[in-house]
């Protein structure tokens, strides 16, 4: 092994949900380093204001049903996850501090080495043991602020939604929801050559959407959302709508906003029954397509040329080239010991936050 960390280092820590709306930090035993693996010490971890809050609140389907991977069905009975839920999270960035000896001896391989800063998915924990192969394409250049690494996964999610939309140069696109994912989607759709109508109920987020390239802004709090969207596109409607807030009412307005035969990409993580979504109106009469976008896979038309790893690398290349200013989306960086305050902020005062990041660099984080 090639260690960089000093001996006597404290036990690693991990964030856990012990019950709905109850979160703390606990110590755990370091994982042994297996052949082909590396140890990464976490610098930052971004909190997802969508998927993660469903686990924090207890509404996540995995906490209430079991996922049958073979049949691709959720079934009743035992649940996939139950409290305590440990190490949720999918937006991490860290530094490689140790590599297995078999990797170190392979001088010809393109692998990470101690000191490399990498981004990936290993949950809200202060260190992780990962395969070197999964991190080979996840290095951050030295000149890039490591904080931007927390956007690797969410950027891939937004790019996947844009890929699912099959956008064409000059088309009109409405993006419903201007949180972190929505703003990234707005920027990516703009870079694709489309004219974006940004929709949200918060003025501050609409203002950011304009800086991210939106041509027109629609305040959802004023009502008559689809009507307003069509005023900024054509009377027939936008070519495509991307709903990424996870709101059924927003999905309904997205359906109402598109032209006959238009496409709606449902990229939000919808919870519970579809209250506010009515399929007997415009959806039926205008023959609207609704397409699900989820980071587990890409549209079938891209198979063979694109995969999830390419989504990550393309998005992060745009960040590194200065095409997308993700740093401006970070509203709070909190020590991991303040994790309860971080989740309470997102849960109770979402209008006051965008990307909330946990800082793991402080070794004194309590158990």
Give me the chain's average pLDDT, please: 93
Cβ atoms 120, 90 nearer than 8 A: no
Q: Which percentage of the chain shows pLDDT scores above 70?
A: 95
Q: Do residues 193 and 247 share a domain?
A: yes
Which structural domain range is residue 291 located in?
167-298
How far, in Å, CA of 308 to CA of 156, rounded? 7
**Is 19 among the domain residues?**
yes
Judging by DSSP bridges, how do beta strands 216-219 and 195-200 pair with one another? parallel
Contact residues for 282 (Cβ-Cβ < 8 A; gap 6+)? 226, 255, 256, 288
Q: Within the chain, where are the H helices?
A: 51-57, 101-104, 132-135, 152-165, 180-191, 203-211, 225-232, 248-257, 282-285, 308-320, 339-348
**Is 158 among the domain residues?**
no
pLDDT tens figures, 290-315: 999 999 999 989 988 999 999 999 99
Q: Do residues 100 and 172 share a domain?
A: no
Q: Which of 119, 154, 122 is nearest to 269 (CA)?
A: 154
Q: Which of 298, 329, 350 is the endpoint of a domain?
A: 298
Q: What is the DSSP letter of 179?
A: S
- How many residues are given for the chain? 367
Other CB atoms within 10 A of residue 84 CB: 13
CA dihedral 219, 221, 227, 229 (to 10 degrees): 30
Q: Do residues 147 and 197 share a domain?
A: no
**Is 135 among the domain residues?**
yes
Q: Which of 298, 319, 349 is the endpoint of a domain?
A: 298
Residue 336 structure tokens = 């991991």
pLDDT at 343 over 50: yes
Domain harbouring 237, CATH code: 3.40.50.720
Q: Do residues 115 and 231 share a domain?
A: no
Residue 187 structure tokens = 């920027």
**Is 194 among the domain residues?**
yes
pLDDT at 4 over 80: no
Q: Do residues 283 and 317 share a domain?
A: no
Identify the pLDDT of residue 8: 52
Q: Do residues 272 and 314 share a domain?
A: no
pLDDT at 5 over 50: no
pLDDT at 160 over 60: yes
Identify the pLDDT of residue 367: 40
Report which of residues 7 and 354 the model is more confident about.
Answer: 354
Q: Do residues 289 and 313 share a domain?
A: no
**pTM, rounded to two decimals:** 0.93
Q: Do residues 17 and 145 share a domain?
A: yes
**Is 248 among the domain residues?**
yes
Q: Do residues 105 and 193 share a domain?
A: no
pLDDT at 279 over 60: yes
Domain count, the chain: 2
Q: Do residues 229 and 267 share a domain?
A: yes
pLDDT tens figures, 97-120: 999 999 877 656 678 999 999 999
**Sign, Cα dihedral of 39, 41, 46, 50:** positive
**Is 159 among the domain residues?**
no
**Is 366 among the domain residues?**
no
Q: Which of 251, 280, 298 is the endpoint of a domain?
A: 298
Angle at 30 between CA 25 and CA 35, to 5 degrees: 140
Identify the pLDDT of residue 6: 44
Q: Which percentage of the chain shows pLDDT scores above 90?
A: 86
Judging by DSSP bridges, how do beta strands 85-86 and 172-176 pair with one another? unpaired
If phi over 0 gives left and psi between -120 and 50 gives alpha, with beta otherwise, what is residue 276?
left
pLDDT tens figures, 17-35: 999 999 999 999 999 999 9
Q: Do residues 221 and 352 share a domain?
A: no
Other CB atoms within 10 A of residue 93 CB: 26
Domain harbouring 352, CATH code: 3.90.180.10
**Is 364 among the domain residues?**
no
pLDDT tens figures, 204-224: 999 999 999 999 999 999 989
Q: Do residues 335 and 226 share a domain?
A: no
């Amino acid at each position: 092994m090639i260690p960089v960390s000093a001996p006597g280092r404290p036990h690693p820590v991990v964030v856990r949900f012990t019950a709905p709306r109850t979160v703390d930090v606990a110590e755990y035993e370091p994982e042994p380093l297996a052949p082909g693996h590396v140890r990464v010490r976490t610098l930052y971890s971004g909190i997802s204001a969508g998927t993660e809050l469903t686990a924090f609140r207890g509404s996540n389907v995995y906490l209430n049903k079991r996922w049958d991977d073979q049949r691709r069905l959720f079934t009743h009975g035992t649940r996939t996850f139950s409290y305590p839920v440990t190490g949720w999270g999918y937006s991490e960035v860290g530094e490689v501090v140790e590599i297995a000896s078999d990797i170190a001896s392979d001088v010809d391989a393109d692998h990470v080495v101690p000191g490399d800063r990498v981004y990936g998915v290993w949950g809200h924990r202060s260190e992780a043991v990962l395969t070197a192969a999964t991190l080979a394409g996840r290095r951050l250049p030295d000149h890039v602020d490591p904080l931007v690494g927390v956007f690797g996964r969410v950027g891939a999610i937004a790019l996947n939604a844009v890929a699912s939309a099959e956008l064409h140069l000059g088309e009109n696109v409405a993006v419903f929801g201007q949180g972190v994912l929505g703003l990234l989607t707005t920027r990516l759709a703009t870079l694709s050559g489309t004219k974006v109508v940004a929709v949200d109920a918060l003025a501050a987020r609409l203002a950011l959407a304009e800086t991210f390239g939106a041509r027109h802004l629609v305040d959802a709090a004023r009502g008559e959302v689809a009507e307003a969207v069509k005023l900024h596109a054509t009377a027939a409607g936008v070519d495509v709508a991307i709903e990424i807030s996870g709101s059924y009412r927003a999905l309904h307005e997205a359906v109402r906003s598109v032209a006959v035969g238009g496409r709606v990409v449902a990229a939000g993580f919808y919870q519970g029954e579809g209250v506010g979504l009515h399929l007997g109106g415009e959806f039926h009469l205008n023959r609207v397509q609704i397409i699900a976008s989820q980071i587990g896979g890409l549209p079938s038309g891209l198979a063979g040329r694109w995969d999830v790893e390419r989504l990550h690398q393309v998005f992060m290349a745009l960040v590194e080239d200065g095409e997308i200013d993700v740093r401006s989306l970070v509203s709070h960086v909190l020590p991991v010991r303040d994790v309860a305050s971080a989740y309470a902020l997102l849960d109770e005062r979402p209008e006051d936050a965008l990307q909330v990041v946990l800082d793991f660099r402080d070794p004194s984080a309590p158990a």
